[in-house]
Amino acid sequence: MNEIPRGTVQQQTFYELVGGEETFRRLVHVFYQGVAGDPELRAMYPEEDLGPAEDRLRLFLMQYWGGPRTYSDERGHPRLRMRHAPFEVNKAAHDAWLRHMRVAVDELALEPAYEQQLWDYLTYAAASMVNTPG
């Protein structure tokens, strides 16, 4: 039996608080279902199968929110802007990305505070990927 010493505060990560891998798996899967049917966003994914992109985003988000470090172990530093630089990410792509992510976040039915924290990050991340005017 592992006993926690008196006075020790155990803190859970956001990843753990929202349900761990299963939550992020659902989030990213629903998101990519939207991407698959969106001609503008789909054009940014050169792979025939969206599965590898889905895996990469899931692993990134899991790591970002305090889960396993598999993303960095497999791919190194995220360097998100650099990885997205080959693609024209404009306001329309930004809006489409957020539209599909909104559906995915809503499907999770998280507690409002967790939902807001996740959404705040996703809107910040989407804005930071824009690299083309218009």
CB burial of residue 59 (10 Å; 0-12, 13-18, 19+): buried
pLDDT band, very low/low/confident/very high, at 133 (cuts 50, 70, 90): confident
Give the per-residue pLDDT at 94.
92
Q: Name the DSSP class of 110.
A: -
Predicted confidence (pLDDT) per residue in 42-101, tens digit: 988 877 889 999 999 999 999 999 999 998 877 766 555 555 555 678 999 999 999 999
pLDDT band, very low/low/confident/very high, at 131 (cuts 50, 70, 90): confident
- Residue 40 CA to chain centroid, in angstroms? 19
Q: Who's near 56: CB < 8 A, 6+ residues apart?
A: 71, 75
Residues 14-28, mean pLDDT to the nearest whole number = 97
Q: What residues does each domain of the chain span?
A: 16-129
Give the per-residue pLDDT at 104.
98
Is pLDDT at 1 greater than 90 in this prediction?
Answer: no
Fold of the 16-129 domain:
Globin-like (1.10.490)
Is pLDDT at 31 greater than 60 in this prediction?
Answer: yes
Per cent of the chain over pLDDT 70 is 83
- Do residues 87 and 34 make contact, with C-beta atoms less than 8 angstroms apart? no
